[in-house]
Amino acid sequence: MPIPKKAFGRTNHQSARTLFGAAALGSVTQDEADRTMELLLEYGVNHIDTAASYGDAELRIGPWMETHRGHFFLATKTGERSYDGAKAQFERSLQRLRVSQIDLIQLHHLVGEDEWEVAMGPGGALEYLIEAREQGLVKHIGVTGHEVAIAGMHQRSLERFDFDSVLLPYNYLMMQNETYRAGFDAVIRACKSRNIAVQTIKGITRRPYVSDHRSHATWYEPLTDQPSIDKAVHWVLGNDDVFLNTVGDIHILPMVLDAAARYQERTPEAVMDAMVAEWEMAPLFM
């Protein structure tokens, strides 16, 4: 069953409500990546969100872009803050992805005050991204980030530049943080008024890892059973103003896509509260 689509902001692209978080391909074989990409096609996922810093992800996607470029809205990110650094990294991404144009380039994890001033100022990364758009190398420009502070920084970024998309964390437990909820809601209002796409991450987070053992490719401990993933995914998709970026682990990904394909209504708060208690869930960001 294909996952429903909606307009990705002002880009004129109808993206599946679940965007493929290609961090999941960072340390897999090409065969594993190929099977994952086939799965995306089965569910009608037509939007890839990767980054220069996601290990080998761009390299794994590259062969698919040679044959399926027209099927996917392709987004990547640069973590560089200077003009020269962003230019070099973006050109490398084009080569690794085997494409001549990207649909969306994003300033990656722009949270720190000093980094923000560099990236958004004269000779900064944004200056290059605007130039790349003028040259036809990219169609749209976005900004991303983690942590509680990102909601406020996104508001500041949107005041400085008219970004086409933003990306930030969104899950039930994090929205119980009053400070973050107020900031997130303010970002949503700003984006709705300007038709800016809102991407969300960390939708199926259980908690930070409680030891050095990592059971999955994600850097946080995820929910891992289908009923719990259903509840978390359906809660996120219950907000019609956002997209859900899928989990960074190819083995959990099928459950997330299955949940999204079966979405009908938002998980009630009482059910979410019971799941938080059952799985001893904890916020990833404080």
pLDDT of residue 113: 95
pTM for this entry: 0.98
* Domains in the chain: boundaries: 5-278
Confidence of residue 212 (pLDDT cuts 50, 70, 90): confident
pLDDT cut 90: percent of the chain above it: 97
Q: Amino acid identity of 246?
A: T
Instruction: Name the helix (H) or strand (E) containing 63.
Output: helix 57-68
What digits encode the pLDDT tens for the residues 43-93?
999 999 999 999 999 999 999 999 999 999 999 999 999 999 999 999 999
- From first CA to last CA, the distance across the chain in angstroms is 37
- Which residues, 6+ apart, have CB-to-CB distance to 91 below 8 Å? none
Q: What is the mean pLDDT of residues 219-235?
A: 97
Helical packing angle, 178-194 and 150-160, nearest 10°? 30
Q: Are 170 and 236 in contact (CB under 8 A)?
A: yes
- CATH topology (fold) of 5-278: TIM Barrel (3.20.20)
What digits encode the pLDDT tens for the residues 100-114?
999 999 999 999 999
Lowest average pLDDT, out of 237-241, 250-254, 264-268, 281-285, goes to 281-285
What digits encode the pLDDT tens for the residues 144-169?
999 999 999 999 999 999 999 999 99
Query: Which of these, 129, 113, 168, lies nearest to 145 by C-alpha position?
Result: 168
- Reply yes or no on whether the pLDDT at 213 is more than 90: no
Q: What is the mean pLDDT of residues 33-49?
A: 98
Confidence of residue 1 (pLDDT cuts 50, 70, 90): confident
Would you call 77 helix, strand, or coil by DSSP? strand
Confidence of residue 286 (pLDDT cuts 50, 70, 90): confident
pLDDT of residue 127: 98
Mean pLDDT (the chain, rounded): 97
What are the C-alpha distances in Å from 1 to residues 72, 249, 253? 18, 21, 15
Lowest average pLDDT, out of 29-33, 36-40, 208-212, 260-264, goes to 208-212
Query: Which of these, 187, 192, 191, 249, lies nearest to 224 by C-alpha position?
Result: 249
